[in-house]
Structure 1
Amino acid sequence: MSNKPSQNRLETRDQLIEGAIEEAIEAADLFLTSLEEQIKQGSFLASAKTEIAPSDEQPLPLEDDTFLTDWF
């Protein structure tokens, strides 16, 4: 008889897990549907556009590593 309450707890836990998984799948489906609509309308891509302008800056010179030769 002591096995019965343990079995009920396992079944309840499994039901909770299944419910949580179903909710997560539904939420993901809604998110993906919304994202798909935004992409179709172009609003998602328009907000994600970034422009990279060329830089006039020269790269920094390499660090002076002559001090390393003092060690050898």
Structure 2
Amino acid sequence: MSSEPSQNHLETGHQFIEGAIEEAIEEADLFLTFLEEQIKLGSTAPAKTELMPADEQPSSLEDDTFLTDWL
């Protein structure tokens, strides 16, 4: 049959997509579990947070970048 290789290719593609979806769901579940644990511990900040020194941070008056999105 000439449609057999095509059907096999579709099944393989379908299995690949199902596997990718299952893996994404597992990863999302692990991430949500991690977030729940962090919330229970009272910390939602990432472990590595880099802050600019105070003299390099723009003051609230200097930082008007949010306005450019609306204009």
TM-score (norm 2): 0.62
Q: Measure how far apart 1:43 and its partner are.
A: 1.2
Residue of structure 1 in register with 2:27 after alignment: 27
Q: Measure how far apart 1:3 and its partner are.
A: 0.3
Amino acid at match of 1:10: L
Offset from partner CA, 1:18-49 (integer Å, 9 cap, x none): 000000000000000000000000011xx38x
Structure 2 unaligned spans of 5+: 47-59, 62-71
Q: Where do 4+ consecutive residues of structure 1 move more than 2 Å?
A: none
Flag the structure with larger Rg: 1
TM-score (norm 1): 0.62
Secondary structure class of the residue paired with 1:43: coil
Structure 1 unaligned spans of 5+: 49-54, 58-72
Residue of structure 1 in register with 2:36 after alignment: 36
Please provide the CA RMSD for this pair.
Answer: 1.8
1:12 lines up with 2:7 in the alignment: no
